[in-house]
Amino acid sequence: MTASVALSVSLSALPAEASTVSAEIPYQTFRDFAENKGVFTPGATGIEIKDKNGNAVGTLDVPMIDFSSVSRRGSLTLLSQGYGVSAKHGGLGDVNNASFGYDKNNYTVVKNNKHSGLDFSLHRFSKLITEAAPADINISGQLSDSSQYTAFYRAGAGTQYIKERSGKQTHIPGTFLTGGTVGTPWYSGNNLISSSPGDTYNKSQGPLASYGQMGDSGSPLFAYDSLSEKWSLAGVTLHNNGVNGQKTTGCYYLKIILKILLQPISIPLFHLIKTVKNICHGHMMQPKAWAVFSRMTNSL
């Protein structure tokens, strides 16, 4: 993502078909990663990544994340057994259903809660989802603190490309959920955080660098907290810097707002906030003031 918001590209401009990844690593590796197949079993550590010639290119040292909270289309993430979060643009704020689990169980959305000023939506399902483990949202500290947050993973189902070291990209037809690694993000202004996974062969992006493309909007970015030893949802993908770009940008959602929203009581979604501009706070810190209105007229 460049400094100019005008140059950003909405990743929902085209239907979801997952990302740009290295051409030197078997494409199946990225698919297995997102679906927790093979060596990518949740909790597994020391996962060695090999290229097409069998040469080791890196190791995933942190416990493997459980991606079951990510919908099969990659654009919605469970925050509890009854709620999911996504972006708002490109129709993502008006979804009717979503599928989770290896059996692709389909669930009906009965309430779409869209923020009026931010590219954010929260969705309520008609029943509890038991086939997937909801994502944790207990982010503490700053995501840019590489001593605390030691790994960032993503998954999505956008347009697919493989990229050579020369920069040449080849489109991969089909619709697949894929995933990979992302380098440490930074605050990029306008309530956003950015990272550069499109710099595919830069070691700072990890051995499975994955750059979101068209159709990846709403897909999650997860952060591994080495202090609490757990994965948490850091934000959702909003924009990239074009097909051949490097930077991807997403919104950072504070745990406090989401925790309030997901309490087992009937409360209006965006009447909980005194200052809505601080949902995604510029410095990745908690906003100064929050308020829950005493009188509630709408329910989630």
Q: Report, as residue numbers or ranges, the catalytic residues.
A: 89, 119, 217
Element (H, E) at 261: helix 255-261
Number of H helices, E strands in the chain: 2, 18
CA-nearest of 104, 143, 123, 133 to 222 is 143
φ, ψ of residue 115 in degrees (nearest 5): -75, 135
Give Cα 169 to chain centroid, integer Å: 23
E-strand stretches of 40-125:
47-50, 56-60, 77-78, 83-86, 97-100, 105-114, 121-125
Angstrom CA distances, 264 to 4, 115, 116, 260, 299, stand at 40, 21, 24, 9, 11
